[in-house]
A and B are shown apart, each in its own frame.
Chain A
Amino acid sequence: MHIDPLEKKWAQIVLAICALFVVIIMTDALFHSVNAPSNVETIDSAKLHLSEEFAEDNLGTQIDADGNITVRMVAGRYSFFPKKISVPAETKLTFRWVSIDVLHGVHIPMTNMSTMIVPGFVAQIETSFPKPGEYPVLCNEYCGLGHDHMWSKIDVVEKDQWIAPQLSSRGVENNE
């Protein structure tokens, strides 16, 4: 069997390139917690309204006693609910997405807030938005003939100007 010395050299270079990429990705994943959304948490998509967590009044941005912010969202043909939410910039946010019907995907352009929303599962992502502004929230998986119209809005507000939603007014504010 014949292997040319040039081929050997090239093979070593290629292995080195691939190894470099893998090391960078793994370092980010294992030491900086830069991961894909992968929480493998099941939920009955047909009974979301009966679930404690995704009942209508509990959707949108919530802040708990320790100051952790969770955004609970329901995807259904053809929008994301609540249709408009507000979050602080430069703050760790935990998004929890569920589908009420078919497969959806959600992406907030220019950010890494991206996940598939698979019926039967809760998709959880932790991220933060460095730049304030109003961003569209877009469905990026074909979900039916009205797919083009499936989008909503998110307001990313300067950290010090953001007002945590009050428990009493939350239901009204979030379900316009």
Chain B
Amino acid sequence: MNDSTAKNLALSHMWVAFIAFILACFMGEYQVLERSGLFEILTSPTVYYASVSTHGVLMAFVLTTFFIMGFGYYVASTSLNVPIWNKQLAWGGFALALLGTVLAAIPLLTGLASVLYTFYPPIQAHFAFYLGATLLIVGSWIWCGIMIMMFIQWKQANPGEPVPLAMFATTMNALLWLWTSAGVAMESLFLIVPWSLGWTDTIDVGLARTLFAWTLHPIVYFWLIPAYTAFYVFVPKQAGSFLFSDELARAAFIVLVVFSLPIGFHHLYMDPEQAKGWKMLHGVGTFVVSIPTFMTGFTVIASLEIAGRLRGGKGLFGWIGSLQWTNTMVLSVILSLLMLIFGGFGGLVNASYAMNAMIHNTAWVPGHFHLIFAGTTVIMYFSIAYYLWPILTKKPLYSNNLALVQLWTWFIGMSMMTTPWHVLGLLGQPRRISSVVYNNLMTLSWKPYELMMILGGLILLGSACLFIYLLVKTQFSSTTEVFEGQVEYAEPLHAVKDLPEYLNDIKLWNKVIAVFMLISFGIPILQFFFLDTYDSSAWGY
């Protein structure tokens, strides 16, 4: 099959993602240096907050969205073995998302949108920032539509057949993103855009925060699902093994998608505009959504154990040593799971309702999400790229050894940066400060941790540069050697037979999500229309 369209789409999307990533990495290291206060010359809240805002948008919205779209196109085309449905539309979505990114980048880089990537009103940015972010989302909706169309068409052409797991996961992610982005899209269209254009004078801050919380949790699962997809469909094959269970993998994706949506209020635990009953309801849901992650950990480790034993590993833990540590996919999944264990533990603390007060908005929080996103998730983006680049460019990976070094240094750097960050949070340091000016003895205990973070950040920056270097050297090498490999999806240990329709379709789950969202967000949103709320006027920063 000629899948050149899918290859070009994948490469174009992923290059945008990784260019955003490397720019943001430089900003990250600048930020950790600035914040330490060691370099007087760097001290500038104006530059710092412009940088943090850009870093957050590039990493959380641009890297992720473009990577997920590119990965999705290639997975759809190769797992279903069909060309991309409506490729003009796909390129249109790419162009729209790119236009949005550029439109948002201009005010961000010129300091006209230093509102951080959460852009909480009533602090107001230049309207081009909101418009750009909205276009990026609309562009990604086109991708969602194409994924769902390809899923439906394949099912019609292959009645009764199980949809390949990789495509099932990708389509569930498209469904998830449509639901997820609806919250921030409503906030943007009904509240923020009219207000930033001056059509409305004031904004309902409580409602805006509630709608943002709708998006704020499931968005991280949107970012995470490609990593989990690689866990299930690439890792077992690369490790020389089989997927322990195909059906349970589908169930895990379904529970992830369905339960990640109605639980956003754990971001509002400390907020006065929502009542405690709703917070508790969302809190219980937050614990439910940890279940598929526990199950994923089990299935992936079980698949790895089979691989280790097939390679001659003996004893209770002997199979770990006999895994193929020199395979980038295998190494990255091990490191990813390690970070997931610690990050997941931190997440359970965050989720624990009233206990959240101790760490809410402290340095613990960015420590947590860097570990679980930049660590667990992005390290899988790297190994997916190492896996796909030779296939997409038909050239062998420039250096497997350097790729292994890159993955190890990313893990070491991330551990060195996020461990002190968590500790700083427990020692009371708030997040989102550009310098420590509190005239208080407590702040003395923060210094050594800041130093360690600088070092961790430097290692991460070096690792990120190495990653880009490897992709460039691979793609633009003058070698005459042609890489012939194709994408190989893992085979399940037990062939999938008699798959119930609820594990093979998204329609039922779409309805379940609708009901859950109505229950968990219906009254909390409606309350703003029957409460006597007082809106805020716009404020600069």
Contacts and interface: CB of A to CB of B under 8 A. Distances in A.
A39 B531 CA distance: 13
Interface stretch (A13-21, A53-61, A62-70, A161-169): A13-21
Contacts of A147: 45, 432-434
Contact of A103 (B204, B205, B428, B440): B205
Contacts of A74: none
Contacts of B123: 102-103, 142-144
Given A29-B276, A105-B270, A121-B272, A42 B245 contact: no
Given A18-B290, A147-B434, A36 B534 contact: no
Interface string B265-302: 00011111111100110011001101100110011001
B512 interface: no
For A28, A39, A105, A140, the residue with the greatest tally of chain B CB atoms inside 10 Å of its CB is: A140
A136 B541 contact: no
A120 B431 contact: no
B499 interface: yes
A114 B269 CA distance: 10
B49 interface: yes
B431 A140 contact: yes
A3 B246 CA distance: 9
B159 interface: no
B38 to A, nearest CB: 16
A145 interface: yes
A87 interface: no
Given A10-B295, A120-B535, A145-B45, A112 B276 contact: no
Interface stretch (B6-14, B349-357, B374-382): B349-357
B430 A139 contact: yes
Contacts of A2: 245, 247, 494, 497
Interface residues of A, number: 65
B537 to A, nearest CB: 7
Given A2-B245, A10-B295, A36 B354 contact: yes
Contact of A101 (B46, B206, B354, B539): B539
Interface stretch (B23-31, B81-89, B358-366, B462-470): B358-366
Contacts of B244: 4, 7
Interface residues of B, number: 82
B539 to A, nearest CB: 5
Given A11-B295, A112-B358, A140 B432 contact: yes
A118 B352 CA distance: 22
A36 B357 contact: yes
Interface string A124-164: 10000000000010111111111111010000000000000
Contacts of B535: 120
Given A140-B432, A145-B49, A105 B361 contact: yes
Contact of B270 (A41, A116, A124): A116
Interface in A83-136: 101-103, 105, 107, 109-110, 112-124, 136
For B248, B274, B275, the residue with the greatest tally of chain A CB atoms inside 10 Å of its CB is: B248
Interface stretch (B67-75, B114-122, B323-331, B452-460): B114-122
Interface string B441-477: 0100000000000000000000000000000000000
Nearest to A25: B353
Nearest to A117: B272
Contact of A14 (B45, B271, B291): B291
Given A116-B271, A121-B206, A107 B352 contact: no
A45 interface: yes
B247 A38 contact: no
A172 interface: no
A36 B279 contact: yes
B437 interface: yes
Given A34-B354, A36-B269, A40-B274, A18 B288 contact: yes
Nearest to B124: A102
Contact of B273 (A18, A121, A143, A144): A121
A37 B275 CA distance: 8
B481 interface: no
Nearest to B540: A144
Contacts of A38: 271-272, 274-276, 279
B273 A3 contact: no
A3 B248 contact: yes
Given A36-B276, A103-B120, A119 B114 contact: no
18 contacts: A1-B497, A11-B291, A18-B290, A18-B291, A38-B276, A40-B272, A102-B536, A105-B360, A116-B271, A118-B206, A118-B273, A119-B534, A120-B204, A120-B535, A136-B442, A138-B438, A140-B430, A142-B123
Given A118-B205, A124-B272, A142-B120, 7 more contacts: A25-B353, A26-B280, A28-B353, A105-B270, A122-B272, A143-B123, A148-B45
Closest 6 CB pairs of A and B: A109-B428, A140-B430, A140-B361, A123-B272, A38-B276, A112-B357
Interface of B: 45-46, 49, 114-116, 120-123, 204-206, 209, 244-245, 247-248, 268-276, 279-280, 283-284, 287-288, 290-291, 294-295, 298-299, 302, 348, 352-358, 360-362, 427-438, 440, 442, 494, 497-500, 503, 527, 531-537, 539-541
